[in-house]
Every structure is written in C-alpha cells, then in structure tokens.
Chain A
Amino acid sequence: MDSSIKTLDELKEFLYRAMQLEHATIPPYLTALYSIKPGVNQDATQVLRVIVVEEMLHLTIAANILNAIGGKPDLVRPDFVARYPAALPDGETDFKVGIQAFGREALATFLKIERPAQRPDHLVGKDLIYRKTPPDITALASHPRHEDLHFYSIGEFYSAIAEGIKYLEAEAHEAGTTIFTGDRSRQITSEYYYSGGGELFPVTDLKSAQAAIELIIEQGEGDGGGIYDDDDHELAHYYRFEELVKGRYYQKGDQPGHPTGPHLQVDWEGAYPIKENLKVGDILEGSELREAATAFNTRYGEFLQLLTRAYNGQPNLLLEAVPMMFEFRNMILELVRNPLPGHPGKNGSPTYEIPGGIKQPAVARQAEVNA
C-alpha cells in the first residue's frame, strides 16, 4: 500500500499520533527518574531530567505543527495515553516500553526508544512493516489508516510527516493557497514555555514546520547518526543514555559507541524496587497506596485537560502546568517508597491509567480520518 500522506485530515491524524508518541515516553522516563533513591545516581538523575523535559518540548512542538495546519490538539481523547507496556517500532520487530524502576533493564528499553534506526540495505525503499498488534496493546507510531502497518523507526514516522507536509503544501501552493491556515495565537512560544529543553518557535509555514520536525529528530536520535545535534553542542538522547551504560561521558570528537570523556558512577541498585507496569487493580482494595495511585491518575488526567486547553488558544495556562508537574514528583515519590501489599520486596508506582482511557476501535478512527 501507499503509506504516504495525501490529505490534510490524514496529516492531522499523524500529528495527533506524534503527540501521543511523544507523550508516551514521558511516564516511563518520569517514573525511572523519581524511582532513584536520594543521594545516589546524580549523573543518571541529571540525564533523565534533561531528557524528560525535552520530551515535553517535543510534545509541545507537535502541538504547534498541528495548530499551524488548523488542527486541534486533543490530549484527552480516550486513546491518547498509552496502556503500558505499549509497543514501539524497532526495525522489523517491535518492543515494549513499560513503567519500571531505573536500572539496567529500563536503560536497555530507553536506548531502544531513542535508537537512530536506519534501514538495512535490503529493506531500503520497501514499504511499512506488517505486524499484528494485540487489541489491548497501544501500538505507537503505527499508520492511522492501517493499525497493523508500522514504520521502521520513529525517525521514519517523522519523515513521513515531513514529506506529507511538503507534498500538501506544494499542492496547496499550486491552487494559490496554503495548508498553514492555523490561528497564530494558538502557537506556544518561549514566552509561555520557560526553560523547557530548548527554544520554542512558532510554526507558521513550511520552513518552520520542517525546522520543528528536525529539532525533534535531532534531540532524540542525533543528526544523521552523529552523536551531537547540528550545532554540535547538544548530545542526542540515545548517546546520553549510552553514557550511563558505558559509565563514561562523551566528548567532542568521539565516535558513536566510544565515549572517551570522564568516568561516571551509576549505582544500579540505587532505585526503589517498583513493580513493573503496575495497575490500580493490582493494589489491595481500601489501602492508602491504592487511594494515592488513583489520586495520581485523577490529577494526571486534569493535567492533560489543562494542556489541551493551553494548546487550544490559552497558552498562558502552561504557567499553571509547571507547579502541577512538581506536584507529580511529590506524589510519585510517595508511591514508589511504599511497599506493595501482597508483593514482598516490591514497591508501589504510578499506573498512568487515566480516567476514560479506553482504546478506541480502529474503525472509528478510520472513519474520522475519512470524514
């Protein structure tokens, strides 16, 4: 099939999925970050903090692109928050990204999320990869029209978006119009987004849209497989995580996979032993832990509602979102420090089951796209 984007509605749905994808990395990174015990793993804490903040930036950038073409960011759509573990593409197979404590296993997953994936020669020019995803699993970065067709990598998913924008804008241009018809006042700029992983610029035309997509790809995978971005000052996420695994920092001039900078210390046991992919239903009914996990989910749902309003014309509401995120830190810390009743040696965790978060049937989404 032809996987390219041919209509504006389709492009909007792709951008919705880009927001879903960017958001999906936040709960795993955030949980791993706050699972780290106080006083240890300062390098890892710093790396995770920088990366999770940049993922929030990516979420906002995707919202800017969607707004630029007249779309409506919707973070409260029932399928917006992934059900963990969720499936992400990793070449010809997929892998599961879940909620777990900081440790070797979590880092292995994080490296897969950010891996600069280039197709091997024998697959170059081939189409999407067919892979059946069980109905209860959120398949991130899949094709909106065809649930079982997946991109080879996140980079490829974004390339499809970039090409779609270029194609549709050229088509519109020929007809004497543009796809960038969005209300400029809905753009989130650095005025409302202070110190959040990079500068936010308004997306108003093809050039700024392409720059926005490039920023997302470069911060994650690096610039064409290089370890730094194109300004040569910021290390890509993949290589930041790799520094932790290798116990050594990268420095200018290093080759991928061979950091030669100062050594760093990682305490692989220095995290609370949270139960992986915990669900509220697994927590003893009537316990304070269950109450706290539910309260967290409710608050997180309110946070997504606030973001939705902010991305739909009330950017000043983002200022209110900041203290809310710090509130999450306090709530998560309490959850991960409390033992999980009935699971000796395991602690609690946020579950990110957002009220109303039921997977929409693929058919309904397809109808939406065609409408």
Chain B
Amino acid sequence: MNSRFEPFLGLSVELTAFSYFDLLGTGLAERYLATLDTVVGSEITDALLAAFTALPPPESEARIHAVRTTILGSELLGDVARALIKLWYSGTWFELSSAWTERFGPRPANTTFVVSPDAYIEGLLWKAIGAHPPGAKGQGFGSWAFPPKIPAPAPGPKPDLTPLPLVFKELDQRHDEISASTDAR
C-alpha cells in the first residue's frame, strides 16, 4: 500500500457512498487506482487525490460544497471523478467525453473497457439494487424461489458520507450539459 492508496480510498468512499469495508471487499481498489493512472496518467490522478485531501473537514456543509466545486465541478477533474464512480459501480471504465479530450488532450488508453471479469461481478451497482450480477455470483439450484441474498444498503444516506443522491444529481446535470454541448457542435 502506498501513500496514494489511502486518499484514493477516502475519495472513493465519498464519491460512491459505500464504506471502506465494502470497497475493500470488492478486492479491486488497487486495480482501480492503477486504472486511473493508466488511463488519465498519474499527474491528473495525483491532482484528483490532492483535491480530495484539501477538502474541508468531514461532515461539514463546506465539505459537500467543496466536493461539488473543486472536484465534480472542476473541468479537469469532474469527468474523471464521474468516470471513477461509474468504474466502481459497474467495473467498466467509460471513455471520457470528447469535450474533455479536446480540452486536455487525448489519452491512448481512454476507451470504454471492462477492467476484469471480477470487476463486473463486484460492481457496486449490484449491491446498490440488492440483486445478483446476471450470469455470476449464482445462488445455486432452485434459489430463484427465494429472495435475493445480497442485502440492499439501508435506506437513507450513511451519516458521515456524501449523500448518494447529490452525487447522482451532479452526474445528471453534467451529463445533460455535455450532451447539450456535444449536440450543439
């Protein structure tokens, strides 16, 4: 574990609204940090981690505001942070928008790809919806007669984390903006 791993995990907890235990439990944290380094390069990754480290103390209004302005709202870091959220949830790196690459330069590894077979299986989205990844983590013969065994997280945001709806709202807004600007071209 290096000095970047801890802030990376902290950032991921904040962005995904899942706990350290859940994220480490996927067994993919190190590989996702490496994915960031491979796709956007270590300089931008470091900038993202630095932005996280510089946030105001947890559980303050100022922090939630700062996550929005200095990370999700940053032209350089925003798309990367959103791609990281999607990576955690789906195990897939989604190619950064053309708006981003036009501004900051293309990256050879920036294509849409599934990180590994287990990344698909361990995607947080399955936990978030309380279901099993289709075709994986099977529950055995006859199990469809019983409710799914992956518990959905308790309703409501975890007290010390950025509320998930906020992140998604940001995501939607940004997505609309990007689509609008791409369509306009």
Interface residues of A (CB under 8 A from B): 37-39, 194-195, 272, 288-289, 292, 319-320, 322-327, 329-330, 333-335, 337-339
Write the B139-150 contact mask toward A (1 if CB under 8 angstroms, else 0): 111110110011
Determine how close the nearest CB of chain B comes to the CB of A323; give it in whole angstroms. 4
Are A323 and B139 also in contact (CB < 8 A) when A337-B25, A338-B24 are? yes
Cβ–Cβ < 8 Å partners of B19 in chain A = 288
Main secondary structure of the interface of A (DSSP, over half): helix
Interface residues of B (CB under 8 A from A): 19-22, 24-27, 116-118, 137-143, 145-146, 149-150
Are B146 and A323 neighbours in the complex by a CB distance under 8 Å?
A: yes
Are A320 and B141 neighbours in the complex by a CB distance under 8 Å?
A: no
A289 to B149, CA, bound (A): 19
Are A195 and B21 neighbours in the complex by a CB distance under 8 Å?
A: no
Give the contacting residue for B149; candidates A272, A292, A326; CB below 8 A: A326
A39 to B116, CA, bound (A): 9
Seed contacts A326-B137, A339-B24; 19 additional CB < 8 Å A-B pairs? A37-B27, A38-B27, A39-B116, A194-B141, A195-B141, A272-B27, A288-B21, A289-B21, A292-B21, A319-B142, A320-B146, A323-B143, A324-B149, A326-B143, A330-B137, A330-B149, A333-B27, A334-B22, A337-B26
| Chain B residue with Cβ nearest A318 | B142
Cβ–Cβ < 8 Å partners of B149 in chain A = 323-324, 326-327, 330
Give the contacting residue for B25; candidates A195, A322, A323, A333; CB below 8 A: A333
Cβ–Cβ < 8 Å partners of B140 in chain A = 322-323, 325-326
Cβ–Cβ < 8 Å partners of B22 in chain A = 334
Cβ–Cβ < 8 Å partners of B21 in chain A = 288-289, 292, 334, 338
Cβ–Cβ < 8 Å partners of A289 in chain B = 21
| Chain A residue with Cβ nearest B147 | A323
A-B contact pairs, 19 of them (CB 8 A): A39-B117, A195-B141, A289-B21, A319-B141, A322-B139, A323-B140, A323-B149, A324-B149, A326-B137, A330-B137, A330-B149, A330-B150, A333-B27, A334-B21, A334-B25, A337-B27, A338-B24, A338-B25, A339-B24
A41 to B146, CA, bound (A): 32
Are A322 and B143 neighbours in the complex by a CB distance under 8 Å?
A: yes
| Chain B residue with Cβ nearest A291 | B21
| Chain B residue with Cβ nearest A325 | B140
Determine how close the nearest CB of chain B comes to the CB of A101; give it in whole angstroms. 14
A333 to B127, CA, bound (A): 14
A195 to B48, CA, bound (A): 50
A349 to B145, CA, bound (A): 30
| Chain A residue with Cβ nearest B140 | A322
A39 to B119, CA, bound (A): 11
